[in-house]
């Protein structure tokens, strides 16, 4: 347990020390809030769909969590190239503890990023449906963060350089985001895109956050939690297996 705690704390300290990384990760969410929130707000309201900002913000929170969580895989590649991972693996602890500690740390960082975006959303006029459910949304963010941090770490175990990982991110992250119902209601999507979105894990994460913050859910809380819980468990098992076979 001490190893998990140390690695968890190290990931958080690394995040807090990198002010440029924190500010840089907020640029895109703020751009989406302003450009989409104010740009499509009037159209959304005229269509009789309500307040677009309240619909959009949970999707932007999901985007921030997705980007930050999967990007945590870069830390693994960094440690691998500069020798820290080799020293960590030489310690007399199981590789599962090392993987789990790193994943918990990355998930905590992604959750903090999501909470910062939620705080900034009040500036552009977002108001949660309930203060209590807003507080409950934090554990929901952590569950989503854990899922995508495990995915990012699992991918990073098979990569040896930053460029390869960035290429994977470009082909994975943006489709996951745009096909998750984060920006547009899934009910209005064409049938083909709606089917694809149904198989997108981020769709259930955004839907869960939106249900808690805006009282609007497409799938329902039970299905959201079932899918997210099952996928998180699977990716933690897969990621720990791949990490146990990593070579440095």
CA–CA gap between residue 44 and residue 122 (Å, rounded) = 19
Q: Are 141 and 111 in contact (CB under 8 A)?
A: yes
Helix/strand/coil percentages in the chain, nearest 5? 80, 0, 20
pLDDT value of residue 208: 95
CA–CA gap between residue 68 and residue 106 (Å, rounded) = 8
pLDDT value of residue 19: 60
pLDDT value of residue 210: 94
Residue 67 neighbours by CB under 8 Å, 6+ apart: 25, 28, 173
pTM reported for the whole predicted model? 0.89
pLDDT value of residue 4: 74
pLDDT value of residue 138: 94
CA–CA gap between residue 41 and residue 50 (Å, rounded) = 9
Burial class (CB in 10 A: 0-12, 13-18, 19+), 161: exposed
pLDDT value of residue 206: 95
Q: Are 207 and 217 in contact (CB under 8 A)?
A: yes
pLDDT value of residue 41: 62
- What residue ranges do the domains of the chain occupy? 2-244
Compute CA distances 11 → 3, 74, 149, 151, 188, whole Å.
Answer: 12, 12, 12, 17, 40
Residue with structure tokens 């910062």? 116
How many Cα atoms within 13 Å fall on the side-chain side of residue 238? Answer: 17
Q: Nearest CA to 107 among 156, 58, 140, 84? A: 140
Tens digit of each residue's pLDDT, the chain (248 residues): 576 777 777 777 776 666 666 666 677 888 888 877 777 666 666 655 567 888 889 999 999 999 889 888 887 887 777 777 777 777 667 778 888 888 988 899 999 999 999 998 888 888 888 888 899 999 999 999 999 999 998 888 887 777 777 777 778 888 899 889 888 888 888 888 899 999 999 999 999 999 999 888 889 999 999 999 999 999 999 988 888 887 76
């Amino acid at each position: 347990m001490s190893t998990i705690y140390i690695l968890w704390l190290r990931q958080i300290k690394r995040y807090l020390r990198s002010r440029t990384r924190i500010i840089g990760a907020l640029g895109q969410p703020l751009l989406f809030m302003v450009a989409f929130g104010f740009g499509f707000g009037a159209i959304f309201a005229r269509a009789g769909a309500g307040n677009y900002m309240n619909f959009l913000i949970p999707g932007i929170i999901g985007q921030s969590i997705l980007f930050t969580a999967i990007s945590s895989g870069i830390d693994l590649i960094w440690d691998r190239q500069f020798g820290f991972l080799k020293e960590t693996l030489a310690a007399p602890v199981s590789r599962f503890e090392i993987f789990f500690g790193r994943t918990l740390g990355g998930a905590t960082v992604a959750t903090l990023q999501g909470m910062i975006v939620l705080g900034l959303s009040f500036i552009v006029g977002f108001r949660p449906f309930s203060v209590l459910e807003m507080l409950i949304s934090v554990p929901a963010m952590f569950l989503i963060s854990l899922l995508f941090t495990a995915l990012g770490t699992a991918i990073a175990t098979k990569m040896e350089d930053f460029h390869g990982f960035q290429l994977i991110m470009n082909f994975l992250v943006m489709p996951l985001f745009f096909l998750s119902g984060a920006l547009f209601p899934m009910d209005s999507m064409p049938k083909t895109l709606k089917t694809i979105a149904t198989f997108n894990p981020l769709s259930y994460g955004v839907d869960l956050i939106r249900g808690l913050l805006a009282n609007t859910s497409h799938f329902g809380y039970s299905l959201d939690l079932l899918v997210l819980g099952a996928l998180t468990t699977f990716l933690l098992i897969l990621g720990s297996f791949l990490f146990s076979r990593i070579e440095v």
